[in-house]
Amino acid sequence: MKLYPFNEHKHAHDIEFMINHYRNTISDMRRGNIPWNDTKYDQLCDRLFALNDLLSTILIKSCHYGCNGRNGRIAYLTEEQLSLAKEAVIWAAETRYKN
């Protein structure tokens, strides 16, 4: 299995930002601030679970390999994990740019 480097030091906060967005959206849906939709709710929960799993993996793996000099902590991810991490980083940058 091929693993790809991901800089935890630079981008873990982007994943946390996306996790918080999903948590807030789920909470709003539960409170009735957003119209309830079973399919959308299930998708949000699945995505939140995947993001939490990704963040845990990144934090554990980057601590395992230790600090890699100037670049900060590097976690080595599978292609699927890296794809989700990149999506979170891009989403966070676009969201911050809008605001």
What are the residue ranges spanned by the domains of the chain?
4-98
Q: 66 — alpha (psi -120 to 50), left (phi > 0) or beta?
A: left
Q: Which residue from 68, 69, 64, 54 is spatially nearest to 11, judged by alpha carbons?
A: 54
Tens of pLDDT, residue by residue, the chain (99 residues): 899 999 888 899 999 999 999 999 999 999 999 999 999 999 999 999 999 999 999 988 765 555 544 556 788 999 999 999 999 999 999 999 986
Question: What pTM was estimated for this model as a whole?
Answer: 0.86
